[in-house]
Amino acid sequence: MYRTHTCGELNIKHVNTSVTLSGWVQKNRALGGMIFIDLRDRYGITQLSFHQTHQEKAFNIAKEASRESVVKITGKVIERESKNKNLPTGDIEVLVDELAVLSKAKIPPFTILEDTDGGEEDRMKYRYLDLRRPNVQEKIILRSKMAIEIRNFLNNAHFLEIETPFLIKSTPEGARDFVVPSRMNPTEFYALPQSPQTFKQLLMVSGFDRYFQIVRCFRDEDLRADRQPEFTQLDCEMAFVTQEDVLQTFEALTKHMFETFLNKTLEDFPRMPYKEAIENYGSDKPDLRFDMIFKDLSSDFKGQGFQVFDKAEIILGIAVDQAANYSRKQIDGLTDFVKKPQIGAKGMVYVKYLEDGSIKSSIDKFFTQTQLQKILEIHKVKKGQALFILAGQVASTRKALGELRLHIGKNIIGVDSEIFKPLWVTDFPLLEYNEEHNKWHAMHHPFTSPKQEDLHLLDSEPHLARANAYDLVVNGVELGGGSIRIHQSDLQEKVFEAIGFTKQEAKKQFGFLMDAFTYGAPPHGGIAFGFDRWVSLFSHSDSIREVIAFPKNNMGKDVMINAPSKIDQEQLNELALEVKA
Amino acid sequence: MYRTHTCGELNIKHVNTSVTLSGWVQKNRALGGMIFIDLRDRYGITQLSFHQTHQEKAFNIAKEASRESVVKITGKVIERESKNKNLPTGDIEVLVDELAVLSKAKIPPFTILEDTDGGEEDRMKYRYLDLRRPNVQEKIILRSKMAIEIRNFLNNAHFLEIETPFLIKSTPEGARDFVVPSRMNPTEFYALPQSPQTFKQLLMVSGFDRYFQIVRCFRDEDLRADRQPEFTQLDCEMAFVTQEDVLQTFEALTKHMFETFLNKTLEDFPRMPYKEAIENYGSDKPDLRFDMIFKDLSSDFKGQGFQVFDKAEIILGIAVDQAANYSRKQIDGLTDFVKKPQIGAKGMVYVKYLEDGSIKSSIDKFFTQTQLQKILEIHKVKKGQALFILAGQVASTRKALGELRLHIGKNIIGVDSEIFKPLWVTDFPLLEYNEEHNKWHAMHHPFTSPKQEDLHLLDSEPHLARANAYDLVVNGVELGGGSIRIHQSDLQEKVFEAIGFTKQEAKKQFGFLMDAFTYGAPPHGGIAFGFDRWVSLFSHSDSIREVIAFPKNNMGKDVMINAPSKIDQEQLNELALEVKA
């Protein structure tokens, strides 16, 4: 037997008990005729004491027990002289009679502590050691607990977890697929799923009614920050539901998760149409932890001879608390921020409304104090605030000001990490224009239903048609999104047409789905959550990488196992493939 | 709103309630001025009645509501005149006021009933319709319920479900990998996991202690009956455990599942060393639902001048109840059975021990009645039984007699489908000889630890070394298997050597694991269950295909979505691949 107890469970009640423990040597301190070892496992830390006079043999082995070695001990629980109130086991220690080193450790490449001296690369290469750090381990444990909680919640709500295939068909729509050559069907390939979308819809056609799956999905994208080639989705679908049913069901799940894991009781989530989110926050995933709603200043500032404003399609500003006190340097910093290529503004105008009622601005040449004061008052800017203004083409100005708003909110004003502001963004456009491919794309995916009242726009002005699509956003992070789907074969055909599929292409790619709709298909809809993002939010992580046991790096590589890698020529031959060097 | 109730919940208590239901038209019968529709959903069937005089509009729509169409109705629950005791909703019907056809169905390609007229191919092509059949649907629902039950059982036992990567590294060991070309790392490939073996071991090295995962695995094998290229494994690993700990833990899980889903309380599982299983049953997964333990007759029958016996390495027989009465034709049938190429015996000898004490055999020429009677008595063959005897080379004779035993047990004597006979087969050999590759292979996998007392054999007679490996077998089906792993770098190296890995190959393929063992690795072991097989056993299915929502056919094809399929030249170019026609 390797243990009678874990390293996290012994306390004052166990005094005088004989115990066997196994674990890792976290610390090893010699004090004259005594040695103290902190023994660690997943459940906690227990202090072991070795007395030379009590058991010389164990004492001598303990001397050599290097950090991170795995040992097994037998001894008696005794009360500690100096108790450690920060440790659940801090009232006791184990006076060791016998010690066996089960596995001796070399010096690890970095320290196994909350704060490590290991760089990113080393920690990824030795991920199995990184995962020993308690703060890293906690995230993986939280992930596990969140998954089972979600499963039980949905199971209680009569959802069935149904597994869908991983070896499916490649589709040109959307992001790039990972493909898998078929040896048994040479020259043909499977694709790994980007999501189980069509399968979950077929399950609704089959009558399964309420489906979910916590499932791996794959996207062969150029990896930006916080993207992984494989990621985990909580994928859900319901039949005989309206959008309202879906939102209610998953708002309840979300609230339950916040309650269970963060001890937060959330109010009902506000709803915000996409149009409003874009107009007021410059983003379809507004961070509601701070205000700074966009003010449209176009009519106020135009026509006064200031070229930058006069030429602009739109002039937008945000009023920022206490910004009247911002220094020249701070303002320059903000201007530099908006002029960064990824933000793309040409410059920033400021109008400070000082506490004494005076106004300082970067456009004093073009506007009188009276003019400015009037504008500030119309837009309810308060003394002590400053108005930061961007002008230009509509979409890019909104986007840039949205970024500025986030920058000020997060990095200057600052946010309380314990505040969570969820909302539903609704009424997304059905289509969006893809500049790269020069054609209309489905904004959500081509199975999303248009709003009944916008159906007539599909022929005339398809870009104006709104969809029954919704996103769940928390603190500016999109946790999930979904839609009510099309369940009619003819409407599905029409939407395919709108995004430039010929009838043949549509039939070839998704014929099975359109066929399915002709044999009695229920109205249905659903949602998919980024499970990695959800865990990341709940564990205050900076990146989804921190909540994945074995993540890939920015090049899609697992540097620990060294994947991907070359394969044998024999394997290539069997697959009827040739690699072009 | 699409429904106030499901089609499975209305009963006599709901009489006079106004309800809205949605579902599929299972049956539509017109009786003069009345129409009866059986409305079906996942939860049950409710009878709807339409009276021409009550609501002519609804009546007229109902006339046209074809089978499998999706409809929504509103009406009042009334007590039925002729109740249907076989249906939970059989006491009531809904008198319909309003009917809307939500989705009109074409005539389906086969009938949606327990017994369908659809052939295998059609049912796979229209799997979404096949899944509507209640008996098919039940299996998928059982699967879902089994998965959540397993998860909660293991969660309560402090196991963590931890997700491991799907895009990993190809290894030449074992079965063929499916590979995934990497676009970002041209000429390199990921492999899809055959199991999360090395990752779960690393999780033990990380200190996670108790891991499980219900996870998809992939094997690119030529598909025999009941194999799928992708299958689901319940994968488990524990640290600081002995073999006994693992067996106890998963025996408890197995018993819990039998109790929960089949209402069966199982006795403690017997243990049987591999050697005994092979010697007594000719199989490492003996079906204990019937006896017919092998009798070694070599010393009894040899040296009496019968060439077939005299030349044989071994002579084995089974005593079969009531087989003394088998007809000539039945005996010929058994002889034909053992002579089939896949069984491979040259012939079969029988010795019938008739109720009157006389003996009839196919070897009367070589053995006297007295000789035979003595042998029958030594081996405790009873009157009414017959001894069926095979002779030849040891391994093939055992295998053939094992098949004969199963054939007689299942197809002649017959088994009660409600009887379940589990056992643990233990002490597997560490290595087995692979004729095809002309070298030693790891029988379980190369991470399995040899028995301490057999360690010395590794250098001298590696084929005699036994492993700490075990299988769970129920009714002749291997439900799962596992082992205590190697956790020492040097022993791991030695085992790699025994299976013909050079040091370089071992380091290249599994260097990360051997490295991990040098930083403090706990003793650990685990088990993996074929989840598909488990569900298949519990649902009395003939094939794992029946318990997979969207299975592949024998060519690894999904005929519903038509995968695998060709991909674009552009996609191939991006992957730096060329397909050889």
> Per-residue pLDDT tens for A519-551?
999 999 999 999 999 999 999 999 999 999 999
pLDDT at A288: 97
For an interface test with A, give the residue of B71, B103, B574 to mutate (most A CBs within 10 A). Answer: B103
pLDDT at A441: 87
**3-state DSSP assignment of residue B46:** strand
Yes or no, beta carbons of B207 and A22 under 8 Å apart: no
CA distance A167 to chain B (A): 8
Average pLDDT of span B297-311: 93
CA distance A353 to chain B (A): 52
pLDDT at B84 over 90: yes
Kindly report which listed range (A300-304, A400-404, B214-218) carries the lowest average pLDDT score. Answer: A300-304
For residue A217, the chain B residue with the least C-alpha distance is: B166
DSSP state letters, A209-257: -EEEEEEEEE------TT--SEEEEEEEEEES--HHHHHHHHHHHHHHH
pLDDT at A224 over 80: no
Q: Where in chain A is the domain with CATH 3.30.1360.30?
A: 290-414
- % of chain B with per-residue pLDDT over 70: 99
Yes or no, beta carbons of A184 and B222 under 8 Å apart: yes
Yes or no, beta carbons of B170 and A520 under 8 Å apart: no
List CB contacts (< 8 A) between A519 and chain B. Answer: 68, 105-106, 108, 126, 128-129
Vertex B138: Cα angle to B132 and B142 (nearest 5): 140
pLDDT at B172: 72
Yes or no, beta carbons of B148 and A161 under 8 Å apart: yes
Instruction: Give the C-alpha separation, A88 to B353, whole Å.
Output: 73
CA distance A380 to chain B (A): 43
Q: pTM here?
A: 0.96
Locus of tokens 């094998």:
B221
DSSP state letters, B222-286: ---TT--SEEEEEEEEEES--HHHHHHHHHHHHHHHHHHHH---PPPPPEEEHHHHHHHHSSSS-
pLDDT at A460: 87
For an interface test with A, give the residue of B133, B230, B484, B567 to mutate (most A CBs within 10 A). Answer: B567
pLDDT at A390: 98
> Do A446 and A495 touch, CB atoms closer than 8 A?
yes
List CB contacts (< 8 A) between A166 and chain B. Answer: 166, 192, 216, 218, 230
pLDDT at A173: 67
pLDDT at A14 over 80: yes
Yes or no, beta carbons of A188 and B565 under 8 Å apart: yes
pLDDT at B195 over 90: yes
Yes or no, beta carbons of B148 and A155 under 8 Å apart: yes
pLDDT at A253 over 70: yes
* DSSP H/E element including A530: strand A524-530
Vertex A192: Cα angle to A186 and A196 (nearest 5): 130
Please tell me what DSSP assigns to residue A412. I
Query: Across B84-161, where does the E strand assignment appear?
Result: 92-103, 160-161
Yes or no, beta carbons of B167 and A563 under 8 Å apart: yes
> Do A578 and B577 touch, CB atoms closer than 8 A?
yes
From residue B423, alpha-carbon distances to B243, B261, B262, B298, B475 in Å are 15, 19, 18, 28, 9
Nearest to B187 among A223, A549, A566 (CB): A566
Q: Up-side HSE of residue A38: CA atoms within 13 Å toward CB?
A: 14
List CB contacts (< 8 A) between B222 and chain A. Answer: 184
Instruction: Give the C-alpha separation, B513 to B527, whole Å.
Output: 18
Q: Where in chain A is the domain with CATH 2.40.50.140?
A: 12-103
Q: Would the CA dihedral through A59, A65, A67, A73 be positive or negative?
A: negative
pLDDT at B224 over 80: no
Partners of B538 in beta bridges: none
pLDDT tens figures, B30-79: 998 999 999 999 999 999 999 999 999 999 999 999 999 999 999 999 99
Please state the separation of Cα A572 from the chain's center in Å. Answer: 37
> Do A472 and A507 touch, CB atoms closer than 8 A?
no
CA distance A251 to chain B (A): 18
For an interface test with B, give the residue of A159, A189, A510 to mutate (most B CBs within 10 A). Answer: A189
List CB contacts (< 8 A) between A182 and chain B. Answer: 556, 564
A to B CB pairs, distance under 8 Å:
348
> Do B472 and B266 touch, CB atoms closer than 8 A?
no
For residue A548, the chain B residue with the least C-alpha distance is: B163
pLDDT at B185 over 80: yes
Yes or no, beta carbons of A199 and B152 under 8 Å apart: no
pLDDT at A459: 85
Partners of A218 in beta bridges: A230
Kindly report which listed range (A457-461, A525-529, B194-198) carries the lowest average pLDDT score. Answer: A457-461
List CB contacts (< 8 A) between B560 and chain A. Answer: 512
Average pLDDT of span A252-279: 98
Vertex A574: Cα angle to A570 and A577 (nearest 5): 90
Yes or no, beta carbons of A577 and B574 under 8 Å apart: no
List CB contacts (< 8 A) between A126 and chain B. Answer: 515, 519
**3-state DSSP assignment of residue A29:** strand
pLDDT at B434: 81
Instruction: Give the C-alpha separation, A196 to A212, whole Å.
Output: 10
pLDDT at B459: 85
Nearest to B563 among A106, A167, A184 (CB): A167
Nearest to B167 among A22, A69, A229 (CB): A229
From residue B170, alpha-carbon distances to A559, B188, B574 in Å are 14, 10, 21
Those residues with Cβ within 8 angstroms of residue A100's Cβ, 6 or more apart along the chain or in another chain = A61, A71, A72, A73
From residue B419, alpha-carbon distances to B258, B263, B278, B416 in Å are 11, 12, 23, 6
The model's confidence at residue B500, banded by pLDDT at 50, 70 and 90, is confident
For an interface test with A, give the residue of B24, B102, B128 to mutate (most A CBs within 10 A). Answer: B128
List CB contacts (< 8 A) between A576 and chain B. Answer: 579-581
Yes or no, beta carbons of B203 and A128 under 8 Å apart: yes
Yes or no, beta carbons of B206 and A574 under 8 Å apart: no
List CB contacts (< 8 A) between A220 and chain B. Answer: 183-184
Average pLDDT of span B251-256: 98
Kindly report which listed range (A468-472, B231-235, B400-404, B462-466) carries the lowest average pLDDT score. Answer: B462-466
pLDDT at A444: 87
Yes or no, beta carbons of A242 and B148 under 8 Å apart: no
For residue B184, the chain A residue with the least C-alpha distance is: A555
> How much is the mean pLDDT over chain B?
95
Nearest to A187 among B1, B512, B579 (CB): B579
Q: Where in chain B is the domain with CATH 3.30.930.10?
A: 138-272+423-547
Partners of A320 in beta bridges: A386
For an interface test with A, give the residue of B164, B249, B565 to mutate (most A CBs within 10 A). Answer: B565
Instruction: Give the C-alpha separation, B93 to B81, whole Å.
Output: 9
Yes or no, beta carbons of B169 and A563 under 8 Å apart: yes
Kindly report which listed range (A166-170, A497-501, A563-567, B165-169) carries the lowest average pLDDT score. Answer: A497-501
Question: What fold does the segment set A138-272+423-547 form as a domain?
Answer: BirA Bifunctional Protein; domain 2 (3.30.930)
Average pLDDT of span A99-110: 97
For residue B189, the chain A residue with the least C-alpha distance is: A564
Average pLDDT of span A477-496: 95
> Do A223 and A175 touch, CB atoms closer than 8 A?
no
Yes or no, beta carbons of B191 and A516 under 8 Å apart: no
For an interface test with B, give the residue of A190, A200, A505 to mutate (most B CBs within 10 A). Answer: A190
- % of chain A with per-residue pLDDT over 90: 89
* The CATH number fitting domain A290-414, selected from 3.30.1360.30, 3.30.1330.10, 3.40.50.1370, 3.40.640.10: 3.30.1360.30
For residue A138, the chain B residue with the least C-alpha distance is: B208
Instruction: Give the C-alpha separation, B26 to A137, whole Å.
Output: 52
Please state the separation of Cα A247 from the chain's center in Å. Answer: 20
A577-579 and B44-51 strand pairing: unpaired
Yes or no, beta carbons of B563 and A168 under 8 Å apart: yes
pLDDT at B474: 97
Yes or no, beta carbons of B242 and A1 under 8 Å apart: yes
CA distance A157 to chain B (A): 13
Average pLDDT of span A392-421: 96
List CB contacts (< 8 A) between A104 and chain B. Answer: 520
pLDDT tens figures, B455-494: 999 888 888 999 999 999 999 999 999 999 999 999 999 9
**3-state DSSP assignment of residue A40:** strand
Please state the separation of Cα B247 from the chain's center in Å. Answer: 20
Q: According to the 3-state scheme, what is the secondary structure of B399-447?
A: HHHHHHHHHHHHHHHCCCCCCCCEEEEECCECEEEECCCCEEEECCCCC
> Do A183 and A575 touch, CB atoms closer than 8 A?
yes
Nearest to B520 among A24, A42, A188 (CB): A24
List CB contacts (< 8 A) between B105 and chain A. Answer: 518-520
For residue A162, the chain B residue with the least C-alpha distance is: B144
CA nearest neighbour of B381 among B434, B322, B425: B322
CA distance B102 to chain A (A): 7
**3-state DSSP assignment of residue A145:** helix
Locus of tokens 């909703």:
B89
Nearest to B182 among A131, A147, A556 (CB): A556
Residue type, B570: E
Yes or no, beta carbons of A578 and B577 under 8 Å apart: yes
* The CATH number fitting domain B12-103, selected from 2.30.38.10, 3.30.70.1400, 3.40.30.10, 2.40.50.140: 2.40.50.140
List CB contacts (< 8 A) between A165 and chain B. Answer: 230, 550, 552, 558
For residue B289, what are its two tokens? 């639902």
> Do A544 and A150 touch, CB atoms closer than 8 A?
no
Q: Up-side HSE of residue A98: CA atoms within 13 Å toward CB?
A: 11
